Structure 1
Amino acid sequence: MDSPLALYRRYRPETFAEVIGQEHVTEPLRAALAGNRVNHAYLFSGPRGCGKTTSARILARALNCEQAPVADPCGECDSCRDLARNGSGSIDVIEIDAASHGGVDDARELREKAFFAPVRSRYKVYIIDEAHMVTTQGFNALLKLVEEPPPHLRFIFATTEPDKVIPTIRSRTHHYPFRLIPPRLLSSYLSELCELEGVTIEPTALPLVVRAGAGSARDTLSVLDQLLGGAGPAGVTYDLASGLLGYTPDTLLDGVVDAFAAGDGASVFGVVDKVIETGQDPRRFTEDLLRRLRDLVIVSAVPDAPATGLIDVSGDQAERLVTQAARFGRAELTRAADLVAAGLTEMRGATAPRLLLELICARVLLPAADHGTDGVLARLDRLERRMAIVGTPATPEAPPPADAPQRAAAPAPAAEAPAPAPTVEAPAPAAEAPAPVPTEPEPEPSAPPAAPAAAAAPAPPEPAAAPASPSTPGTMSLGDVRGLWPTVIDACRSLRKATWSLIGQNAQVVDFDGTVLTLGFPSSGLRDQFLGGGHEPVLLEAMTKAIGLQPRIDAIVHQGASAASPAPTAAPAPVPEPDPPAEPAPPPPRRPRMADIQAEPADLHDPDSAVDRDDADVDAESGADLLVRELGAQVIEETPHQ
């Protein structure tokens, strides 16, 4: 029993109308045949498997058709039947493989036989395949024959490398360049062939077959023939195609892309480990990841790319691409694609491809470590996405005050400041020593720690504190918080390095329901260290500063043992070291006195600190009175000011 022919032989085109993807060649040839303006020599060039030899056979059939001149062979005459797909062949159409018959002796033999007239047909046609393999001496032996052939002789040269055909031959032919077949056209062609074969093929498997064929019709049909041979009752499935062709499954690519978007290093390296454990090639995985990032870059720039056919993917995969692209910024995607492309180049010839793959993933995860333009733009993309998620009112208002903890605590005493003011005005009559009076305004710098807070308390701090927490928690999801968590860790570093080290290395976002953020720690000791070490207020301040969110924090042991959640903190008040303002509020700068520099921070909360130091009664006090009242000093002797 004869085995069936391969698909590329069974479905070889027999007319120019059946040749797909080469209309720029077939249409001029059909016009030349119909108008009887056929040249004596043609050169067909292009990639392998794109239809050069097939078109040469169709041209020979059309030339020798009994109804010629005609654009397409009739398929009914003796010559057309002899040259058909399953025909016996014609003695007047000779195919020569130049790879094995390209020497000068073969060219001389051809030249001697070419002058004999055709036996049955109108023309004797020589189809020289792989013409670039003909030696220079062989071409020189054919040169006179190709330049001035007898009327019954036609030459068709087919080659993948037209530059290797000597110019004297090339200049005497009509050159028709063939091209690779577009993916969408190949996909529809494969669907039609599967219907003719009566085999089902999943839509998600078609792009893999087309990709394996790389635009070559013959190579694509060979791949499809292999899959059809191994298909079961369900037909050609995605799992069969990806496993047999060696491509990375979409589940792994989706997992690593989602982990990149969330900044989840554990998941990223877990995917890399799975790639190695399942025996896949790290280079192929890197290549597939680069292709996925390329698709995401296009979708980010053109959201309807899958619908318009700009990207050849199935419907459900198109939805995944749109969702994944929305979680990145364009600069982030471009930077990641550049890093993966550079790493793929380094992998060629590398002895440790897994190590290079892990380094690539580490670079993609850490845009802050990249001090170049790409890293800055990637971080800017994260900030813009965070602002779009959290909302613009909350994010810019929280960071401006440099002393946020002081100003958050200042409005309460400031509201009560006017009450004790009359009691401070009592020592007004004490106006001794006329000499020190001009220098008494110098103590004014001692008031700035309280005076600016009392002056600024009614207006700026209240709007800044109002929109922080109540309006934003409900607008963010668990995925949003995980995606912005690296930014929160960076904010902790600028506030307190101990908190940054503890949370950055040990804490993990377990859950977020809009108001309560659950943090998981690997052990109860680390959880207790977080709860009892003053780290929670710092984390709340970092979240307010970085993402405008101030939820209640529930710290648990990550293995599942729940811990009692700490009491909710309304504002990040307990900051250990409040710094005094750098400049005094009054316009004229004065040199501070030693008594003012050594003032205790507790004066910030003293009701007397709200008294206006520009008051005339206060200016009337002597230096000794101020020292006694402000510092509780005991004056032994006062030397008059000279």
Structure 2
Amino acid sequence: MSSLALYRRYRPESFAEVIGQEHVTDPLQQALRNNRVNHAYLFSGPRGCGKTTSARILARCLNCEQGPTPTPCGECQSCRDLARNGPGSIDVIEIDAASHGGVDDARDLREKAFFGPASSRYKIYIIDEAHMVTSAGFNALLKVVEEPPEHLKFIFATTEPEKVIGTIRSRTHHYPFRLVPPGTLRDYLGEVCGHEGIPVEDGVLPLVVRAGAGSVRDSMSVMDQLLAGAADDGVTYAMATSLLGYTDGSLLDSVVDAFAAGDGAAAFEVVDRVIEGGNDPRRFVADLLERLRDLVILAAVPDAADKGLIDAPVDVVERMQAQASVFGAAELSRAADLVNSGLTEMRGATSPRLQLELICARVLLPAAFDDERSLQARIDRLERGAAAAPAPVFTTGSAAPAMAYVPGPEAHTPVAPPPPPVQQPPAPVEAARPDAPRPDAPRPGAWPGAAAPGGGTPGAWPGASTPAPQAPAAPQAPTAPVPAAPVSGDMAQGAAQVRNMWQPILDAVKNRRRFTWILLSQNAQVAGFDGTTLQLGFLNAGARDNFASSGSEEVLKQVLAEQFNVQWKIEAIIDPSGGANPPPAAANFGGGRPGQSQAHQAQAQPPAPAQAAPPQQQWAPSPAAAAPSAPAPQHAPTSSSSPAQQHRAPAAAPVHTPPRPQPVAPEDDVPEEDDPDLVDSALSGHELIVRELGATVVEEYTNE
């Protein structure tokens, strides 16, 4: 027994022991039960799938003393003669058509066929490799195959049934055999190894099944070779890969990871290891193609291992799932096509290493090709990079800070970053010269009465002017400034970049909801930004609470999401200082309107460097109407001013305001029917400012 090959020691003796051919064995057993056995059969299929074995089992079932039966008894003389290691029966003749396929052999068979069986029920001819019989030989057998005597049965076995002439095929029952499924063959090999008592590592059986290519006999031969060379620890994975010539899984993992990362150095290093290790480059490419095939299936079917689409150990499947997750579908398909084409080109190549390196270069450089597959692979890489990066990406530099946005899947039009803001240098601490330009001079192109950036008094409305330089007065005790909410360094750095795009944000908010636009443009500014959270500084608690309770925060979030494809958190804080560097768009908070006289609008002026102005709202005399020689009388407040408003006017800076003409309302102030915040029943301007925005009206002008 030990001298026999493994496939001979475990050859099936009944149809129940034949694996992977149920589509053939079940009808044959039913025909035996019904006693409807034909006189001629044709078994076809790949080599080593059980054709000749099934022909012997059928002969044993027909000649059993209890037969014809699908289950031979194994006790009678015929069953013992036709057993796995039996001497054979004189009534069952096997002919190898490769050496006995001529016309003379066919004539000799025809003459002997008419003699009855010696001791069995039927005289059975098993003609193996029937496609090797010549046309003259088939023609010589045609008459006896068509009309045989009652005791005669023919079984033809061939791997090429199309070479059997049609007149013979039409007189037989044709049963096509198939390759055995990998899962079935792997389980069968495991049982054989268990019977042999030799341990086998995980991963060895899939290699044997792959080497056998679905053939039971070929797989059993490979397994017999591995078992023969097994040491005390059994058959190891390293031994199997080395003996069968397969590529080690670590090399395949390394080259696939290099393809995913676009690392050419790592890929060519793997090629060098393949060549220096003595591996066959063509075998390596074939194994790489097999790995890419598994990755393509795993990318499309995540549970392919559970469904039996992939035959690999659990740890290998987990590694391949991780590799498939970092590839795009187009990338994997393109890589597999290139490797497949390269494998075809390597047949007969004079320099296999060069061919292998060219394959890796083609896979790594999709930008070098202009076909559709390469374009899709490049898109997959861009999408994978965009998914791995955060939505807003800030790049800061000493020259000009810029803000770039990574577009999402729905963004198709690139948005250019806004121009950098012009930084105003701080005013030097020196005496004012008569020929020096006035700091309160209007800026070109600005709204009449708009203050220059950084020129407002801390705590004052950004459109209000500050007192002009006058004669030195008695020093006053400095007032402690209102502490602002703490802003970290990262938040302050991000705020400078968000301010560059604040005006487009306000324009988009204005188109969505006018009330939110008024609230943000006149009471808030960017205080900080850290990449995910946007801090808005409000002048007082009333404005901040109104922003949170009126739904304006959601409006701002929707605008940011729609216009800039970002999801930022909004944090409202109290910042009465107005920010260290307010944006130019916020410089017109509360300023004059179009149609008003420039002489009747207040101008902003920076505070004196020697003494900081108190954080209170102040009114200053107009530069055109203030008399330098005599002090101007204090203007009496109107009847609509509240005591709190009168108290907030400082006594040290008397205010004189000449009569103004009635300001003409701009076109934007006309209520729209689709704006729920600007209807006839809504609050008036005075009530809106005092009750809703939490502000204090210092002066109100009426028609005079």
Tell whether the structures are fold-level matches, with TM greater than 0.5: yes
CA distance in 2, matches of 1:307, 1:197: 29
Whole-angstrom distance in 1 between the partners of 2:166 and 2:371: 50
1:101-160 CA-to-partner distances (Å, cap 9, x unmatched) read 000110111111111110000000000000000011101110000001000000000000
**Aligned partners of 2:138 and 2:168 also within 8 Å:** yes
The letter for the 1-side match of 2:163 is: K
Structure 1: distance between partners of 2:317 and 2:306: 8
The residue matched to 1:380 in structure 2 has which SS? Answer: helix
CA distance in 1, matches of 2:499, 2:56: 95
- Cα distance in structure 2, aligned partners of 1:386 and 1:211: 36
Which residue type is aligned with residue 268 of structure 1? Answer: A
Choose from 382, 402, 410 the match for 2:421: 410
2:99 corresponding residue in structure 1: 100
Question: Which residue in 1 is equivalent to 2:304?
Answer: 305
CA contact (8 A) 1:411 1:457 kept: no
- Write the deviation string for residues 193-216 of structure 1: whole angstroms up to 9, x where unpaired: 000000111121111000000100
Closer, same or farther in 2 for the Cα pair 1:459/1:199, shift >3 Å? Answer: same
Q: Which moves more between the two structures, 378-387 or 336-345?
A: 378-387
Aligned ranges for residues 183-582 of structure 1 at < 5 Å?
Answer: 183-392=182-391, 397=405, 404=417, 407=419, 409-410=420-421, 412=423, 422-424=441-443, 457-460=502-505, 466=529, 468=531
Q: TM-score, normalised by structure 2?
A: 0.60
Q: Post-superposition shift, 1:380?
A: 1.5
Spell out, residue by residue over 1:510-537, the C-alpha distance to the aligned partner (whole angstroms, 9 max, x if none).
xxxxxxxxxxxxxxxxxxxxxxxxxxxx
Distance 1:373 1:229, change over 3 A: same
Over the matched positions of the two proteins, sequence identity in percent amounts to 65
Deviations 1:142-195 (A, max 9, x none): 000000100000000000000000100110000000000000000000000000
Measured in 2, the distance between the counterparts of 1:398 and 1:39 equals 74
The structure-2 alpha-carbon separation of the partners of 1:366 and 1:64, relative to structure 1 and needing over 3 Å to count, comes to same
Instruction: Report SS of the residue matched to 1:156.
Output: strand
Distance 1:224 1:425 in 2: 91
Residues in 2 aligned to 1:401 and 1:147: alpha-carbon distance in whole angstroms: 80
CA RMSD of aligned residues (A): 3.6
C-alpha deviation, 1:391, in angstroms: 4.0
- Post-superposition shift, 1:34? 1.1
Aligned to 1:514: none
Matched-pair contact (CA < 8 Å) for 1:414–1:454: no
Q: 1:21 to 1:397 in 2, by over 3 A?
A: same
Does the CA-based 8 Å contact 1:398-1:468 persist in structure 2? no
3-state SS of 1:43 partner: strand
Deviation of 1:86 (Å): 0.8
Distance in 2 of aligned mates of 1:160 and 1:398:
60
Structure having the larger proportion of residues in helix: 1
Instruction: Give the distance between the partners of 1:44 and 1:79, measured in 2 at CA.
Output: 23
Bigger Rg, which one: 2
Q: Any idea what SS the aligned residue of 2:127 has? A: strand
Q: Shift of the alpha carbon at 1:393?
A: 5.3
The yes-or-no answer on 1:150 pairing with 2:149 is: yes
CA offset at residue 468 of structure 1?
Answer: 4.8
- Tell me what 1:165 maps to: 164
Unaligned runs of 5+ in 1: 427-452, 472-544, 549-603, 619-642
Q: Which runs of 4+ in 1 moved over 6 A?
A: 399-402, 614-618
| C-alpha deviation, 1:16, in angstroms | 0.2
C-alpha contact 1:92 1:120 (8 A) present in aligned 2: yes
Give the structure-1-normalised TM-score. Answer: 0.66
- SS of the aligned residue for 1:306 comes to coil
Distance 1:402 1:79, change over 3 A: closer
Structure 1 position 72, deviation (Å): 1.6
* 1:390 Cα deviation after fit: 2.2
CA distance in 2, matches of 1:387, 1:470: 21
- 8 Å CA contact retained: 1:394, 1:467: no
Distance 1:134 1:458 in 2: 91
Indicate the SS of the match to 2:203.
coil
- d(CA) in 1 for partners of 2:125 and 2:321? 53
CA distance in 1, matches of 2:9, 2:257: 44
Q: Which whole-Å CA distance do the structure 1 matches of 2:499 and 2:183 have between them? A: 71
**Aligned counterparts of 2:325 and 2:385: Cα–Cα separation in 1:** 12
Distance 2:327 2:440 in 1: 56
User: Does the C-alpha gap of structure 1 residues 401 and 307 become closer, same or farther in structure 2, counting only changes over 3 Å?
Assistant: closer
Render the CA deviation track for 1:254-301: whole Å, top value 9, x for unaligned.
011111111111110000000000111111101100110110010011
Offset of residue 403 of structure 1: 5.5
Q: Across the two proteins, how many residue pairs are aligned to each other? A: 458
Q: Is the 8 A contact 2:94 2:127 kept in 1?
A: yes
CA–CA separation in structure 2 for the residues paired with 1:365 and 1:257? 11
What code does the residue aligned with 1:179 have? R
- Indicate conservation of the 8 Å contact 1:42/1:174, yes or no: yes
Cα distance 1:421–1:315, how it changes in 2: closer, same or farther (>3 A)? farther
